[in-house]
């Protein structure tokens, strides 16, 4: 780990001021990603600003019946919040499926959204990586790529986004609230993440010095059901090979409204509008679930070690849809 300057911020404005025009500055909250990458010399910030004291730790109902989640809310607190467990079940399930209790006690909402990939080549500076150094190459494409993405990839990057929480929030149509040098702005989560294209080093829309302040979830219609299913190599403390988040409203045995997101298979948390279009207005049946899964994976581009993910993701989504609708 290289030497760096350390500052503590007490307010959002002082945090923003501390990184103004600092191209090599980073905010640190729980540190569960940043500190690891600093130890590996993948991240080498010249300045680190501690934002743990910022007053962004509340979970509050919004006037329209939705939920406002401060960027500094810890994953454990969010997962065990009564409103989240009862109304936004998919989010609680996703959070509890990730990491370990100790890490969830530290990890923050904003930090979770900004997790970096677990790609072996990204985290090992002995290898080139377009995320670390644009134009240097992507050894994962022809290397060992079992955990890598099959959706949203490019010839420059096939790294998978690792977050479970973000997949659930994608299905819940969360909005990210950002404050920076040019004021405040709100970005739907589906627009917050960027596909790698030719610039895999740019993973989201945050500009220099931007800070996530909170996330809002829209209200859910009474009777809405949700579920998160995660498939992985072992039962705990493991990243997803495939996961699915489903939020659905049924009318009898017919699906009135559904939102679907996939994890473990995309370069970002993957919203599947194609699958949603297949299902809305149709009967909750296994044939329709399978058709939706086929639509969700129709553009998959597997590599030599991860071709199994195509069928795995289809089965994961089909099972999640069954779980959500089984009591209809």
Q: Which fold has domain 225-325?
A: Enolase-like; domain 1 (3.30.390)
Q: Could you tell me the end-to-end alpha-carbon distance of the chain, in angstroms, rounded to an integer?
A: 54
Name 251's Cβ contacts closer than 8 Å, sequence gap at least 6: none
Of 238, 234, 240, residue with least CA distance to 320 = 240
CB 270 within 8 A of CB 295: no
Report pLDDT for 327. Answer: 60
Two tokens at 70?
């401060």
Mean pLDDT by 10 residues, the chain (328 residues): 96 96 94 97 97 98 98 98 98 97 98 98 98 98 98 98 98 98 95 98 96 98 98 95 98 97 98 98 98 98 98 98 86
Q: Is the pTM of this model over 0.95?
A: yes
Report pLDDT for 21. Answer: 84
Give the span between the Cα atoms of 305 and 152, in whole angstroms.
17
CA 319 distance to own-chain centroid: 21
Report pLDDT for 181. Answer: 86
Name 182's Cβ contacts closer than 8 Å, sequence gap at least 6: 207
CATH of 5-50 given 1.20.1660, 3.30.43, 3.40.50, 1.10.8: 3.30.43
Can you give the residue ranges of every domain in the chain?
A: 5-50, 225-325
Q: Where are the beta strands (DSSP E) in 34-154?
A: 47-50, 59-61, 67-70
Alpha helices in the chain (DSSP H): 12-19, 34-39, 75-79, 82-87, 89-96, 101-106, 109-113, 165-171, 189-192, 273-279, 286-296, 308-325
Give the span between the Cα atoms of 118 and 131, in whole angstroms.
12
């Amino acid at each position: 780990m290289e030497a760096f300057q350390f500052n503590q911020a007490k307010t959002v404005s002082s945090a923003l001021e501390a990184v103004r025009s600092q191209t090599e500055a980073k905010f640190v909250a729980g540190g569960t990603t940043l500190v690891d990458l600093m130890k590996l010399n993948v991240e080498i910030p010249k300045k680190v600003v501690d934002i743990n004291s910022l007053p962004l730790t509340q979970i509050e109902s919004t006037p329209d019946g939705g939920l406002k989640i401060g960027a500094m809310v810890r994953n454990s607190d969010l997962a065990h919040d009564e409103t989240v467990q009862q109304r936004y079940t998919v989010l609680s399930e996703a959070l509890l499926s990730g990491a370990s209790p100790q890490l969830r006690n530290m990890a923050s909402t904003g930090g979770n959204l900004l997790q970096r990939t677990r790609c072996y080549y990204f985290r090992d500076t002995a290898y080139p990586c377009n995320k670390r150094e644009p134009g240097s190459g992507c050894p994962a494409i022809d290397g060992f790529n079992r955990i890598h993405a099959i959706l949203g990839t490019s010839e420059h990057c096939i790294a998978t986004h690792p977050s479970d929480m973000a997949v659930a929030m994608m299905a819940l149509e969360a909005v990210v609230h950002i404050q920076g040098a040019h004021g405040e702005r709100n970005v739907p989560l589906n627009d917050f993440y960027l596909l790698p294209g030719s610039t895999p080093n740019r993973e989201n829309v945050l500009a220099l010095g931007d800070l996530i302040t909170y996330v809002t979830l829209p209200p859910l219609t009474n009777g809405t059901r949700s579920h998160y299913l995660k498939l992985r190599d072992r039962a705990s403390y493991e990243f997803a090979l495939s996961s699915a988040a489903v939020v659905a409203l049924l009318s009898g045995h017919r699906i009135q409204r559904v939102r679907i997101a996939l994890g473990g298979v995309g370069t970002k948390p993957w919203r599947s509008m194609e699958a949603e279009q297949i299902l809305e207005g149709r009967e909750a049946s296994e044939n329709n679930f399978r058709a939706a899964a086929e639509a969700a994976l129709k553009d998959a581009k597997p590599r030599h070690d991860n071709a199994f993910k195509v069928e795995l993701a289809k089965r994961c989504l089909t099972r999640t849809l069954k779980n959500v609708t089984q009591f209809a």
